[in-house]
């Protein structure tokens, strides 16, 4: 089976712009979670989607949003980018049962905001 894929792998944007990141889960997985990793804050949970519905949400402002399609692929959108949004954004997929240990992580999208 192919692993979790994320596109693009690297991205450079400027403040005020918006960005959309994509995640394709492992075939058959119905849950997709998103995480932000920064040197200062470490790894933080953004949100989780299951069957096209947001099932769980972290403590991030409304500028961060996501969605999931019927084929379980997920997108994450960040509007009005700030310098502090520069981070590695990780996506993880799981069959659907709860539990972080069931998640398989993608390689991430590295976003740089200038």
Residues lying near another protein in the complex (CB under 8 A): 4, 42-45, 55-56, 90, 92, 98-101, 104-108
Q: Collect all residues with Cβ–Cβ distance below 8 Å to 102 and sequence separation of at least 6.
A: 94, 95
Pairing of strands 104-105, 5-7: unpaired
Nearer Cβ to another protein, position 37 or 65?
Answer: 37
Q: How far apart are CA 32 and CA 48, in angstroms?
A: 6
Q: How far is the CB of 47 from another protein (least distance, A)?
A: 12
CB of 55 to another protein, least distance (A): 8
Q: Rounded distance, CA 72 to CA 82, Å?
A: 28
**Closer by beta carbon to another protein, 22 or else 44:** 44
- CB of 30 or CB of 79, closer to another protein: 30
């Amino acid at each position: 089976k192919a692993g979790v894929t994320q596109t693009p792998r690297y991205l450079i944007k400027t403040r005020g712009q918006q960005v959309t990141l994509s995640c394709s889960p492992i075939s058959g997985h119905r849950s997709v979670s998103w995480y932000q990793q920064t040197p200062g804050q470490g790894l933080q949970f953004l949100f989780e989607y299951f069957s096209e519905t947001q099932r769980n949400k972290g403590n991030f402002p409304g500028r961060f949003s996501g969605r999931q399609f019927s084929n379980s692929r997920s997108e994450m959108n960040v509007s009005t980018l700030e310098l502090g949004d520069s981070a590695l954004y990780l996506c993880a997929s799981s069959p659907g049962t709860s539990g972080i240990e069931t998640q398989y992580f993608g390689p991430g999208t590295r976003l740089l905001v200038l």
